[in-house]
Structure 1
Amino acid sequence: MTHNDEHSSFDHSADDAGDDAAYAAALDRLLLLTVLLNDDMHRGLQDDGLTPSRTSLLWTLRRLGPCPQKAIADAMEISPRTVTGLVDGLVATGFVTREPSPADRRAVLVTFTPKGTAAVESLLEQQRGFGRQLFAAMPRDRFAGLVAGLDDVLGTLHALGLRKPF
């Protein structure tokens, strides 16, 4: 081994240590961001009488339209029993109803109430406004880099087996 090879090998170890420290610092920022956003989300949803799980179901229903609980369970990748509990809670709080299907009298469709529609529209507007607060002042190239980096992180998490929340 030449002196240059030894030096190169040593530098590589130093680079690995530097990379590990940078990765740990980046992960710390992601974890802090997660805690801050989670706390804010819980407070906001609680004010509307919702939970994160029930809200996830509302987002899914918004995407699917009126549908049977099984379709919601499949889309959310959760058990039908869990969906039943979530729908029960949303029915009790007035966000959705169970309506007979016009196409199949044996089927029941989960459908938004006016309160549920208004809640989802309000959540969408809050999301847009919060997005503007967070990102509008950021230079476009930095914002594009942030989005690309987050896409990379999310892709890695999905490849590791973590599922999408909605």
Structure 2
Amino acid sequence: MPDAPTAALDLVLELTVLLGEDMRRGLGELGLTETKAHLVFAVQHAGPSTQRVLADMLGVTPRTVTTLVDELGAAGVVTRESHPTDRRATLVTLTEDGAALGAGLVAGQRELAGRLFAGLDEDLPAFTRVLGEVVARLRALTEESA
């Protein structure tokens, strides 16, 4: 039987796999990849943004963002608009359909959260605190090894 830290990590890893599978399935039904969904969330959160800013937000290359914007543009999710002060730059904005898609993604996330954590009201603050600490420690370890 694994020790407590190993057992906890085993559960976190299993949770990661299950959440990833569920997310990919749900996004696939919408014709999205994880990266495309992240771009939609980024524009929804930050508002109209340059592709350079989006690349930085997503941690990908500008060329990757260009491809994503091309594909999401062809699907009617985003558009490119002239930057009001920089003639060399364009802003990526959500279309009406893109804004509705983003709102649907947020609603789906809230619904899943409600279903996963229903009845755990007393334990949820402690779970959130501990999980936040684990995430912070993993980020620190990742930054150390980079």
Q: Distance in 1 between matches of 2:63 and 2:34?
A: 17
- Normalised TM-score (structure 1): 0.80
**Cα distance in 1 for residues equivalent to 2:63 and 2:17:** 29
Q: Aligned letter for 1:29? A: L
2:105 paired with 1:123: yes
| Residue deviations 1:21-60 (CA, integer Å, cap 9, x gap) | 2111111111111111111101110111111011111111
RMSD over aligned CA atoms reads: 1.6
Instruction: Report the residue type matching 1:43 in the other structure.
Output: R
- Count of residues in Structure 1 that have an aligned counterpart in Structure 2: 143
Select which of 116, 123, 141 maps to 1:160. Answer: 141
Q: Equivalences for 1:1-166 in 2 at 5 Å?
A: 21-140=3-122, 142-161=123-142
5+ long unaligned stretches in structure 2 = none
Shift of 1:102: 2.6
| Structure 1 runs (4+) greater than 4 angstroms displaced | none
Q: Secondary structure at the match of 2:142?
A: coil
How does the TM-score come out when normalised to structure 2?
A: 0.90
Q: Distance in 2 between matches of 1:42 and 1:78?
A: 19
* Separation of aligned partners in 2, 1:66 and 1:139: 37
Identity %: 43
Q: CA deviation at 1:112?
A: 0.4
DSSP 3-state at the match of 1:161: helix
Counterpart Cα distance in 2 of 1:21 and 1:89: 47
Of 36-45 and 71-80, deviating more is 71-80
Q: Secondary structure at the match of 2:91?
A: strand
CA distance in 1, matches of 2:121, 2:42: 32
Question: SS where residue 104 of structure 2 aligns?
Answer: helix
